[in-house]
């Protein structure tokens, strides 16, 4: 599973980081960091990553198949 991040759309709410802290984080400027950019999310992180995608209030995250 890969995730597409629309960085310009992200408003820094941090709900993704709350749901999947091993996948997403916000830096000191509330800019999103996606740990697995350009690669697949490991199996053990996938349920949390999906929850993070679903939690994003501005739909800045999308699961790619």
Q: Which long-range contacts (CB under 8 A, 24 or more apart) does 14-17 make?
A: 15/52, 15/55, 15/56, 15/57, 16/52, 16/53, 16/55, 16/56, 16/61, 17/52
Domains along the chain?
A: 2-64 (3.30.70.20)
The per-residue pLDDT for range 13-64, each reduced to its tens digit, is 999 999 999 999 999 998 999 999 999 999 999 999 999 999 999 999 999 9
Banded model confidence at residue 65, pLDDT cuts 50, 70, 90: confident
Query: How many angstroms separate the CA atoms of 32 and 35, rounded?
Result: 10
| pTM for the structure as a whole | 0.92
Query: How many angstroms separate the CA atoms of 25 and 12, rounded?
Result: 10
Determine contact, residues 25/33, Cβ cutoff 8 Å: yes
């Amino acid at each position: 599973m890969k995730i597409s991040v629309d960085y310009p759309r992200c408003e820094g709410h941090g709900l993704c980081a709350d749901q999947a802290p091993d996948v997403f984080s916000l830096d000191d400027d509330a800019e999103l960091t996606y740990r697995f950019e350009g690669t697949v999310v490991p199996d053990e992180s996938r349920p949390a990553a999906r929850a993070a995608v679903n939690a994003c209030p501005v739909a800045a995250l999308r699961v790619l198949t």
